Amino acid sequence: MKYVVGLDVGTTGTKTLLIDERGHVAARALAEYPLLSPKPGWAEQDPAQWWHACVKTLREVMSSSGVNARDVLGIGLTGQMHGSVFLDSKNGVVRPPILWCDQRTAEQCEAITEKIGASRLIELVSNPALTGFTAPKIIWLRENEPDNYAKVVKVLLPKDYIRFKLTGEFATEVSDASGTLLFDVKNRRWSKEVMSALDIPLDFMPKSYESPEVTGTLLKEVADNVGLKPGIPVVGGGGDQAAGAVGNGIVRPGVISATVGTSGVVFAFSDKVTLDPKGRVHTFCHAVPGKWHVMGVMLSAGGSLRWYRDTFAHEEKSVAALAGRDPYEYITEQAATAPVGSEGLIFLPYLTGERTPHADPHARGVLFGLSLRHTKAHVARAILEGVAFGMRDSLEIVKGMGVPIAQVRASGGGARSKLWRQIQADVNSVPMVTINVDEGPAYGAALLAAVGSGIFGSVEDACDATIRVVDKLEPIKGNSRLYDKYYAIYRALYQDLKRHFNEVAQILA
């Protein structure tokens, strides 16, 4: 039996999988690390902790599985996108990396947009300037820490720093590079025009590869340390969303994933570059060579239900602890007792602002339509429905761009709830399915390694051999008709309240 490794350098920890050539998980390991916030709105990490977690989890999967090192054929990488690891001439880390969720670069984003032009920026790199992206972080460093900026010779994304530690090579791949605001997504190469306009040296960025391509081989000293064979290939891998999509089998037209974790992500495969002129959704290169994807992100999906659990569901949490059950099971069981539409109670899930379709940091959550008839069950169901409406926002944009939608695959923690899947099916009027694996981006990274090491001939072949649908929920037509009416009100509420969100933000400033 042959094996490959998938390594996911996430925001809260590193997850490592060892899977066999049939796609079965032989071992998994997780090592966590802290998120640093030295100032309000800042988010940084220590890359030495990423590396320690990678070494630790690689050792664990090899020792716990009992697999012979000579049977492991390759490693695939994935991880949090957009983060900036600044390296000096001796390959030392100049300062703690600035992460995807860091908000310090609003001024730099405005300056980028003004300098290049909003529409021209989308033409060149397929996306607007957002605080999470890498380019404004580089400019922030230049403007605010000039001594540190003067030391920089290379800028790597988080997983690509781990690639350097594994192989000694500077490299990235097209899906992760797409989120830097420096990458020509249409032509799958660094944008010389944007980098020149922003006065960012082209040499700062590493060579870019397609996701299954081999980018280097495992160094002997690392292999000896973790129990692997020296010289095995390390493939390009993918940004966490692209790798997660491969792990969900989103590799052909018409198949879309809806991932409800803390945030909510709608990910659609595309055979060609498809842009939203308003920049409400992202267009990135896919981890499938020569293909692209369109992605919408809402910030508080599962996070909204977690807020409800921690704020209002103390009794459910206590009962769940005694019964050894997940409190979310009790919450969704309660929600199921409320009628479709929650008797007019509508939830806007903007607890931390919003990204798609409203790039509005001042937007806030709303429970609209409360009456004396409403109970905790109604509120819980309204939250599930409100998140589904938020996901539909992205799906509607994707449909408007001409991207086909035949099937939506549910993933993330929200996919464990049959009620929530049914609500999404009804709200979106499309079937919701689940698949046989739920290992996240690490699984997709492992499949990319299986392609790069020759186990499979293509990413599509790898997905066909390992991923299958196990459950399907069809939309209930009567529910869909009712949800269409409520969705129209949901969409109007943001527009009606937008000015007041800004006014409250000014009062609190």
Catalytic (active-site) positions = 240
Phi, psi of 192 (to 5 degrees): -65, -35
The alpha helices in 66-117, defined as continuous H runs, are 106-116
What letter would DSSP give residue 457? S
| Residues comprising the chain, all counted | 509
Task: Work out the burial of residue 239: count CB atoms within 10 Å of its CB; fewer than 13 is exposed, 13-18 middle, 19 or more buried.
Answer: buried
Token pair for 30: 């997780």
Cα distances (Å, whole numbers) of residue 466 to 72, 96, 176, 327, 455: 18, 38, 24, 32, 12
Cα distances (Å, whole numbers) of residue 274 to 30, 194, 270, 351, 398: 36, 20, 7, 30, 9
Distance CA 295, CA 460 (A): 20
Cα distances (Å, whole numbers) of residue 480 to 14, 223, 398, 425, 486: 40, 54, 19, 8, 10
Token pair for 186: 């249409």
**Residue 448: its H or E element:** helix 441-452
Q: Is 351 helix (H, G, I), strand (E, B) or coil?
A: strand
Distance CA 171, CA 164 (A): 8
Tally of CB atoms within 10 A around 460: 16
Cα distances (Å, whole numbers) of residue 383 to 98, 121, 232, 331: 32, 36, 47, 11
Phi, psi of 106 (to 5 degrees): -60, -45
Q: Are 66 and 120 in contact (CB under 8 A)?
A: no
Q: Are 7 and 444 in contact (CB under 8 A)?
A: no
Sheet of 405-411: strand order equals 282-285, 292-298, 264-270, 254-260, 405-411, 432-435, 469-473
Torsion of CA 221, 224, 225, 228, to 10 degrees: 120
